[in-house]
Amino acid sequence: MEISKKNKFVEFLKNYWIYLTVAVVILVVAITVGVLAGGQSVPTTTPNLEFSLPMNEATIVKDYSSTELQENQTLNQWEAHLSVDFASDNADVFSVLDGTVSDVSYDILNGYTVEITHAGGFVSQYASLAEEPEVAKGDQVLSGQKIGTAGNSASFESYLDNHLHFTLLLDDKAVDPNNYLDLQNK
């Protein structure tokens, strides 16, 4: 009497071939969709952006901090400061990049504010301006172009006197301007 030996692998394939086929198809589709959705087949470029300073001969009176709380003496509270506050005897305020003025507004907390949309997903915001800014919504501005004058219109930081409250956003999230602007000597 002869005992037949069955190949376990062949038996496995016979019993589970449908499941293996479905798994392979799903894997191929997932890889294909991932490559197309990830943009791997289309080269992309990021513009080379050179930031200028928002004020000349300025000092930083309150720096950016997302991890350490800073005291806001006006509001008598500790808070993250997702902006850089500048002060200077020359109160002129300039655009840090070429862009389009996306908003000009006034509110009691931020005072007169200009928002400029730039290439690469950047948006710059200039708050606490002294008076109605020199630009209007929709204006095209160049890097280094004067857009207003620093002042004390932001009531939430009135203890700082005349200053510029500068915020930089990348893809709608506040980022540290120190990483983009040459602030080492300020």
134-176 pLDDT, tens digit each: 999 999 999 999 999 998 877 667 667 788 999 999 999 999 9
Check residue 45 and give its pLDDT.
Answer: 41
Residue 162 CB-density burial (10 A; 0-12 exposed, 13-18 middle, 19+ buried): middle
Check residue 20 and give its pLDDT.
Answer: 65
CA nearest to 138, candidates 157, 160, 115, 155: 115
Check residue 74 and give its pLDDT.
Answer: 64
How confident is the model over 77-94, as a mean pLDDT? Answer: 87
Residues in the chain: 186
Contact 155, 108 (CB under 8 A): yes
Contact 148, 135 (CB under 8 A): yes
Distance CA 71, CA 78 (A): 4
List all residues 6 or more positions away from 38 whose beta carbon is below 8 Å from its beta carbon. none
Torsion of CA 144, 150, 154, 160, to 10 degrees: 120
Q: ∠ at Cα 102 (133, 164), nearest 5°? A: 45
| pTM score | 0.70
Check residue 154 and give its pLDDT.
Answer: 75
SS3 125: strand
DSSP at 177: G
CA nearest to 71, candidates 173, 176, 134, 159: 159
Most confident of 38-42, 70-74, 165-169: 165-169
Name which residue leads in pLDDT, 78 or 37.
78
CA nearest to 47, candidates 119, 155, 137, 129: 119
Q: Is the pLDDT of residue 1 over 60?
A: no
Q: Is the pLDDT of residue 43 over 60?
A: no
Name which residue leads in pLDDT, 66 or 136.
136
